[in-house]
Structure 1
């Protein structure tokens, strides 16, 4: 795995290596669990939940933050990522029925490529990117609010722009979070895992939207 090779061959301090390894291990497990929950949602033909999905999402996210320094935090990480995977089921079913599996595979490949490119860049160059934190968080909040508003406005052009913005911001957050780990700004692998997972989720959904619109 390219990321592991970068960690081993690099000159990172032991604490950073430990956090990275724990983060990538937990992230891998949550992605597998999320995919399983997505498959369950697809199998039972679960309906698209729209904004209602935010209620369990916010609740689980709050519990993760509250318990991130204890083993209970692991339970809530899987609760959060399992729920997010379940909400993907109806979305993937829609694109499978309208565009076929090629779109899904392309979005998955693009998500993996973006993640490895962003993470590897920071691990190899060891860039210190803490200055990006405020800008990225502000941009994410604004884009999130705009996305909620567009659920009611239904402006297709705005939807396209927001997908591009989410894609760019999520890529930036992956680099920022990786930099925070290797430079000591993040020592909690539960928090790091959740951040990276949510960015992967945003990238995947944004790519689905963008590629789907292109095909249409």
Structure 2
């Protein structure tokens, strides 16, 4: 009886730690999305989006974003938590500048509607990742292969300009990022259960930032894929 009681207490402690850690991750993800969305809107409203889209600045911003993501993902365990946080916020800001250009192609109403659809799909898959008893770790390599395929096909289609390939990429992209959302949330939940909350504030903050970055990327990419279906073109 004592063994069972101890087991239940341990399970409850793991569940509580996981909940606290997930909340921290989602808070940082929300901050990143708010920064991106706000900056994208005000950049478009100011007219700077047109300058970005029609100059080499767009490519420079994209390259800077890629550099930040790769650096943060590779060095997150070795840099200070404050530096990791600043890099994440910096990436969110840069992404806001580049995403401001979508206001040149789509109506604000369709962008807002697509955001709500994305939030609903993301929320549903995040909830599934949190509550499912199924181990989703086996999906990781499959989804990663799908992501690489999307990137390669998108590069090829820059030269082919194939509408069929464009829509195939869009459909597969939605499936991949929906799957990645559930996979990443379960992985983050497992991090909380396996003791990251006992490793000190520095480890918690770094873990929260890398988790927030993963979910942020899932959300943004899912939004961009759905925008291809639901975005209304500007006149």
* TM-score range relative to shorter protein: 0.7 to 0.9
Residue by residue over 1:169-208, the C-alpha shift from the partner in whole angstroms, topping out at 9 and shown as x without a partner, is 0110010011112223895221111111111111111111
- Of the candidates 221, 232, 235, which is equivalent to residue 202 of structure 1? 221
Query: Following TM superposition, by how much is the alpha carbon of 1:15 offset from its aligned partner in structure 2, in angstroms?
Result: 3.2
**Cα distance, 1:51 vs. partner?**
5.5
Deviations 1:109-163 (A, max 9, x none): 1100111100112223343211111011111011112112212221111111111
Name which of 157, 165, 190 aligns with 2:209: 190
- Compare 124-133 and 60-69 and name the one that shifted more: 60-69
Which ranges in structure 2 are unaligned for 5 or more consecutive residues? 1-10, 197-206
Match for residue 35 of structure 2? Answer: 33
- Residue 150 of structure 1: aligned partner: 157
8 Å contact 2:129–2:185 — kept in the other structure? yes
Report the TM-score, using the length of structure 1 for normalisation.
0.84
2 CA distance for matches of 1:29 and 1:76? Answer: 13
Is 1:73 the equivalent of 2:73?
no
Q: Kindly indicate whether the alpha-carbon contact (under 8 Å) linking 1:128 and 1:183 is maintained by their aligned counterparts in 2.
A: no
**Does structure 1 conserve the Cα–Cα contact (< 8 Å) formed by 2:106 and 2:234?**
no
Q: Which digits, 9 at most, give the CA deviation of each residue in 1:42-93, with x for residues without a partner? A: 0233233665543112111123124424221001101111111211111123
Please list every run of 5 or more consecutive structure 1 residues that lacks an aligned counterpart in the other structure. Answer: 1-9
Task: Give the paired residue count.
Answer: 203
